[in-house]
């Protein structure tokens, strides 16, 4: 079941309903998130401020300090993304929560699936905010260029008809160019799920991608297999001659 040494996303869930916590932890766990629960306001606040978490999911109704108060105090010191939950009935709270610096806000009655979707959106936004404009819209590797805005990869002057996963795979490899990416990392980053030893789907995608790149596993121009470790996009040392 385990997810690894690789960067795992850690979440703090603050809610006094332990059953709910278990349920959510279990659900999010299946998608590779490590969920830790706190069951009171003060406890949640303390843990939030430990800065160990990538995001906090915060119920409003809490013993000790209510969710708004916890949020306010978190925001005094930290920018950790916070997603607030409300029990039924509280209409206007949404605005109040957002005004106070919550990153999103959703009813506790939402499906876990919705929670997951919003959570991802929040994490994505916060990841982007960190590097802000730093993200280049285009990555180039020899004759290969990848346009992130248009989601289009070109080899020479020919557009490659990649499927969504193939494109993502290429992007992830390209961003880690010169470093080996394990299958686990790849599947985590691309598909948001767990890797298990018999999972060959990454291999299959690599194979398909290579075919489209006209890349030969035995003497790769782009994707090199690193036995027992994973795959890596070659980092052409200065002076490498590519020919299309």
Partner DNA sequence: CCCCCAGTTTAAAGATTTTGTAAAGGTGAG
Partner DNA sequence: CTCACCTTTACAAAATCTTTAAACTGGGGG
Q: Which residues bind DNA (CB under 7 A)?
A: 163-166, 183, 191, 193, 198-201, 203-207, 210-211, 217-218, 225-230
Pick the piece of the chain touching a copy of itself (CB under 8 A) from 38-46, 56-64, 177-185, 202-210: 177-185
Nearest to 119 by CA among 200, 229, 189, 28: 28
Cα gap 29→55, rounded to integer Å: 14
Residue 36 pairs in a beta bridge with: 12
Task: Work out how close the CB of 75 gets to a copy of itself at its nearest, in angstroms, rounded to a whole number.
Answer: 7
In contact, 66 and 60? CB cutoff 8 Å: yes
Q: What would the two tokens of residue 228 be?
A: 């027992």
B/e letters for 140-166, b = 16+ CB within 10 Å, e = fewer, are ebbbbbbebeeeebbbeeeebebeebb
CA–CA dist 85, 88 (Å, integer) = 10
Nearer to DNA (CB atom), residue 166 or residue 185: 166
Instruction: Please tell me whether residue 110 binds a copy of itself under the rule CB under 8 A.
Output: yes
Q: Are 109 and 90 in contact (CB under 8 A)?
A: no
Q: Which of 210, 211, 191 is nearest to 201 (CA)?
A: 191
Q: Contact letters (x/-) for a copy of itself, 47-86, by CB under 8 A?
A: ----------------------------x---x-x-----
Q: Which of 150, 200, 214, 240 binds a copy of itself (CB under 8 A)?
A: 150
Residue 237 touches which member of DNA, a copy of itself, none, C-beta under 5-8 Å by kind: none
Residues in touch with a copy of itself (CB under 8 A): 1, 19-20, 23-24, 26-27, 30, 75, 79, 81, 88, 94-95, 98-104, 106, 108-114, 116-118, 120-121, 124-126, 128-129, 132-133, 149-151, 163-164, 178-180, 184, 194-197, 226-229, 232, 235
């Amino acid at each position: 079941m385990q997810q690894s040494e690789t960067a795992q996303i850690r979440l703090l869930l603050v809610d006094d309903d332990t059953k709910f916590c278990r349920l959510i932890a279990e659900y999010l766990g299946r998608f590779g998130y490590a969920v830790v629960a706190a069951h009171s306001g003060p406890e949640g606040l303390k843990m939030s401020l430990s800065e160990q978490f990538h995001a906090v999911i915060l119920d409003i109704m809490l013993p000790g300090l209510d969710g708004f108060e916890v949020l306010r105090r978190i925001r005094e010191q930290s920018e950790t993304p916070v997603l607030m939950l409300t029990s039924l009935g509280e209409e206007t709270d949404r605005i109040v929560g957002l005004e106070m610096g919550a990153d999103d806000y959703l009813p506790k009655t939402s499906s876990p699936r919705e929670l997951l979707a919003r959570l991802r959106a929040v994490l994505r936004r916060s990841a982007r905010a960190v590097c802000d404009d730093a993200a280049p819209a285009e990555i180039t590797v020899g004759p290969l260029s990848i346009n992130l805005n248009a989601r289009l990869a070109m080899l020479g002057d020919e557009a490659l008809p990649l499927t969504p996963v193939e494109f993502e795979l290429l992007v992830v490899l390209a961003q880690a160019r010169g470093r080996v990416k394990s299958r686990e990392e790849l599947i985590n980053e691309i598909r948001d799920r767990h890797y298990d030893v018999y999972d060959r789907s990454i291999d299959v995608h690599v194979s398909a991608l290579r075919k489209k790149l006209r890349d030969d596993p035995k003497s790769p121009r782009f994707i090199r297999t690193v036995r027992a470790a994973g795959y890596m996009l070659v980092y052409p040392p200065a002076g490498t001659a590519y020919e299309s």
